[in-house]
C-alpha cells in the first residue's frame, strides 16, 4: 500500500497565495487599510514567544498587519480583561489571539470568553465552541479546524467512518470530535481514564492523536488502511503516534513536523482574513 502523505506545509503555502490576493483586494477597496490580527502575550514563556513570532511572520507574508501586546507576568485577570475589551472596541482590529498559556494567577477561561465572537479567530470562546458544535456560524479552534481543512484538501472521506480522537482538551480534542461528528463520522473520544485504549484504536478508520504524550499511540494498534492524523509535536520531531512503522500500512497520514502544525497558523490567519472581509462588507 502506498501511503498518502497529508502535507500541511504544501496546503498552507497554497492557501497563503490565495489569502494574499484576498488581502490585496481588501486593501484596495478600503483605502489602504490592512486586516490586523492582535496578539496578546502575557509573561516571558520562550515557546509562546516563538509561536507569536511565527504568527506575526505569517500575517506579514500575506500582507496583513500584526499587532503585539506584551504584558507582564504579574498581570491580573482584570488588567487582561481590560486589554481584551479595548481590542474588542477597536474597529481597526479584526482578529484577537490570546496566547496560551497565561500565568496561573489569571482566569484564562474568563479572558478567552471576553473575546468578541466576531474576532475570535482562534476559536477559543465557549460561545464559539457551542455554535460550532451546533453547526452554526463560528470560527473553529485553529488546530482542529486546520485538520479538517487538510483532510478536505486531500479528499479524505469522513461520512460514516469510525473516527477515534485520543485527547479531550478544550482547544483540540473536544472541538475535533464535534467537527468530525458534524461531517457524519461516528466518533469515539478517548482520554487518560479510557480502558482498553488499544482495542478502541484498532477499530478506527480515522485516528487523531491529540493527547500530548510522545508516541503514546503505537503503530501496531492501528489497522491497515486507516487515516492517521498526529496533532502532537515533541522534542526530537516526534508526535503522539508511532509514525515510522505506518508508512505502507496507513492509507494516509500527517508527517511530524510538516503536517498539522503549518495548518494551525494558516487557519488562524485564514479566519482573520475572513473576519476582516465580514467587517468591511
For residue 224, give its domain range.
Answer: 142-260
Residues 6+ apart with CB under 8 A from 157: none
Query: DSSP of 28-53, one letter per residue?
Result: HHTTTPPPEEEEEEES--HHHHHHHH
**Residue 68 covered by a domain:** yes
Pick the catalytic residue from 7, 34, 99, 271.
99
In this structure, are residues 156 and 175 in contact, taking their beta carbons and an 8 Å threshold? Answer: no
Q: Are residues 155 and 245 in the same domain?
A: yes
- In the listed set 84, 118, 152, which residue is the last one of a domain according to the structure? 118
Q: Are residues 239 and 187 in the same domain?
A: yes
Q: Are residues 159 and 238 in the same domain?
A: yes
pLDDT of residue 1: 87
Q: The domain spanning residue 197 has which CATH number? A: 3.40.50.720
**Residue 75 covered by a domain:** yes
Q: What angle do CA 26, 28, 29 make, to 5 degrees?
A: 65
Binned average pLDDT, 10 residues per bin, the chain of 281 residues: 97 97 96 96 93 94 96 98 98 96 97 98 98 97 98 98 97 97 98 96 98 96 98 93 96 97 96 97 88
**Residue 171 covered by a domain:** yes
Q: Where are the alpha helices (DSSP H) in the chain?
A: 8-29, 46-61, 77-89, 108-112, 126-133, 142-153, 173-182, 197-201, 260-280
**Residue 66 covered by a domain:** yes
- In the listed set 73, 102, 118, which residue is the last one of a domain according to the structure? 118
To 10 degrees, what angle do helices 173-182 and 142-153 make? 40
Pick the catalytic residue from 7, 34, 55, 205.
55
Q: Are residues 83 and 45 in the same domain?
A: yes
Pick the catalytic residue from 7, 119, 120, 122.
122
Question: Which burial class, exposed, middle or buried, applies to 222 when counting CB atoms under 10 A from its CB (0-12, 13-18, 19+)?
Answer: buried
- In the listed set 54, 85, 118, which residue is the last one of a domain according to the structure? 118
Q: Are residues 52 and 162 in the same domain?
A: no
Q: Are residues 254 and 147 in the same domain?
A: yes
Residues in the chain: 281
The grid cell for 119 is: 474576532
Cis amide leading into 99 (omega within 30): no
168-to-73, 138, 208 alpha-carbon distances in Å: 28, 20, 11
**Residue 206 covered by a domain:** yes
DSSP assigned state of 183: T
Residues 6+ apart with CB under 8 A from 55: 37, 39, 66, 97, 265, 268, 269
Structural domains of the chain, count: 2
pLDDT of residue 36: 97
The reply to whether the predicted model has a pTM over 0.85 is yes
Q: Are residues 99 and 153 in the same domain?
A: no
Q: The domain spanning residue 96 has which CATH number? A: 3.40.50.10860
* Three-state SS annotation for 248-260: CCCCEECCCCCCH
**Residue 189 covered by a domain:** yes
Cis amide leading into 101 (omega within 30): yes
Q: Are residues 113 and 170 in the same domain?
A: no
Nearest to 166 by CA among 119, 103, 213, 132: 213
Q: Would you call 122 a catalytic residue per the annotation?
A: yes
**Residue 14 covered by a domain:** no
CA separation for the pair 40, 25 (Å, rounded): 27
CA separation for the pair 239, 236 (Å, rounded): 9
Q: Are residues 79 and 152 in the same domain?
A: no
Q: Are residues 94 and 150 in the same domain?
A: no
Q: Are residues 114 and 192 in the same domain?
A: no
Q: Are residues 155 and 241 in the same domain?
A: yes
CA separation for the pair 272, 265 (Å, rounded): 11
In this structure, are residues 266 and 195 in contact, taking their beta carbons and an 8 Å threshold? Answer: no
**Residue 21 covered by a domain:** no
pLDDT of residue 17: 97
Q: Would you call 174 a catalytic residue per the annotation?
A: no
Amino acid at each position: 500500500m502506498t501511503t498518502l502523505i497529508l502535507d500541511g506545509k504544501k496546503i498552507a503555502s497554497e492557501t497563503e497565495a490565495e489569502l494574499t490576493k484576498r488581502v490585496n483586494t481588501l486593501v484596495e477597496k478600503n483605502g489602504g487599510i490592512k486586516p490586523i490580527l492582535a496578539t496578546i502575550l502575557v509573561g516571558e514563556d520562550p515557546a509562546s514567544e516563538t509561536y507569536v513570532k511565527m504568527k506575526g511572520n505569517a500575517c506579514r507574508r500575506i500582507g496583513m498587519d500584526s499587532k503585539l501586546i506584551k504584558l507582564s507576568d504579574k498581570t491580573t485577570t482584570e488588567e487582561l480583561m481590560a486589554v481584551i475589551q479595548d481590542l474588542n472596541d477597536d474597529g481597526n482590529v479584526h482578529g484577537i489571539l490570546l496566547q496560551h498559556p497565561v500565568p496561573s494567577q489569571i482566569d484564562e477561561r474568563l479572558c478567552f470568553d471576553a473575546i468578541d465572537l466576531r474576532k475570535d479567530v482562534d476559536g477559543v470562546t465557549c460561545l464559539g465552541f457551542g455554535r460550532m458544535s451546533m453547526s452554526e456560524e463560528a470560527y473553529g479552534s485553529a488546530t482542529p479546524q486546520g485538520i479538517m481543512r487538510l483532510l478536505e484538501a486531500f479528499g479524505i472521506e469522513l461520512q460514516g467512518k469510525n473516527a477515534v480522537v485520543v485527547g479531550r482538551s478544550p482547544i483540540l480534542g473536544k472541538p475535533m470530535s464535534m467537527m468530525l461528528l458534524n461531517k457524519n463520522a461516528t466518533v469515539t473520544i478517548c482520554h487518560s481514564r479510557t480502558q482498553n485504549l488499544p482495542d478502541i484504536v484498532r477499530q478506527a478508520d480515522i485516528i487523531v492523536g491529540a493527547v500530548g504524550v510522545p508516541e503514546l499511540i503505537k503503530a501496531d494498534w492501528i489497522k491497515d488502511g486507516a487515516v492517521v492524523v498526529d496533532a502532537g509535536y515533541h522534542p526530537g520531531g516526534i508526535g503522539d503516534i508511532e509514525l515510522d512503522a505506518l508508512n505502507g500500512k496507513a492509507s494516509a497520514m500527517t508527517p511530524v513536523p510538516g503536517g498539522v502544525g503549518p495548518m494551525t497558523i494558516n487557519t488562524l490567519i485564514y479566519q482573520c482574513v475572513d473576519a476582516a472581509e465580514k467587517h468591511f462588507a
